[in-house]
Amino acid sequence: MSPDPLPPHPTLERYYASDAERPEFVNDMFDKGAPYYEWVCRVMSLGTGGQYRKRTLGAVGLEKGMRVLDVATGTGLVLRAAAELSGASNLAIGLDPSSGMLLECRKRCAAPLVQGRGEHLPFASDRFDLVSMGYALRHVADLRVLFDEYRRVLKPGGRVLLLELTQPQSAAGRRLNQLFLGTVVPGLARLWGGAAAARMMDYFWDTVKNCVSPDVILSALRDAGFPEPTRTVTGGILSEYRGMRPR
């Protein structure tokens, strides 16, 4: 018997009535918000996101000649850093379900792009040295299925890197997070990109504050065949989940 699905957060009825409606809602939201996504990401990271992404990819062991799959690549923020470190744009592939995001990505990146979802990867087994995913874990339907697919397409010894935003441990940190991600960022997004950008960032914050705990994510990685997954936290809110497929 297959285990029950493990969604990353409960049904958010403010946006859709059931989980079956979520993929269509999320796709439509990202299609409309795609032109503003990079600007919003710069605001959220206070301009430090590029350095952070490159540093974490290097720390997980990405080197020249390695093959990378960046899932939920969006406009290619992680993909571009991965392509640079791997030494050739054709060694890094970006995958995303949103046609709007892929359109924006093509304007910025020469790497191959594929439309699809992480839970159903259109790639052969044992193909990649690294699978990355930046701030999109909260938008999938089932973490168990997702991580099973990641293990399948990784070569033996291949690694997975998941970048996520998580709630701080302290009450003061949570209040600051609520103010910045829950109020300031959506407000600035509305001024810059209108309702579509604001809607995207409202949803972003609601998924962050309702996301399953880090322990649940680590447990799901172990169950999928990543024996000793780790989580590193930077600045109280930036989580880096890492795992390796056994050789």
* CATH among 3.40.50.150, 3.40.50.10090, 3.40.50.10860, 3.40.50.720 for 19-169+212-244: 3.40.50.150
Q: pLDDT tens across 68-93, in order? A: 999 999 999 999 999 999 998 789 99
Q: pLDDT tens across 25-53, in order? A: 999 999 999 999 998 888 888 777 888 99
Give the pTM: 0.94
**Over 80: is that where the pLDDT of 115 sits?**
yes
Band (pLDDT 50/70/90 cuts) for residue 2 is low
State percent of the chain over pLDDT 90: 79
The answer to whether 84 and 92 are in contact (CB under 8 A) is no
The answer to whether 7 and 139 are in contact (CB under 8 A) is no
Q: Which residues of 68-84 are buried (b: 16+ CB within 10 A; e: fewer)?
A: bbbbbbbbbbbbbbbbe
The answer to whether 72 and 133 are in contact (CB under 8 A) is yes
Band (pLDDT 50/70/90 cuts) for residue 1 is very low
| Boundaries of every domain in the chain | 19-169+212-244
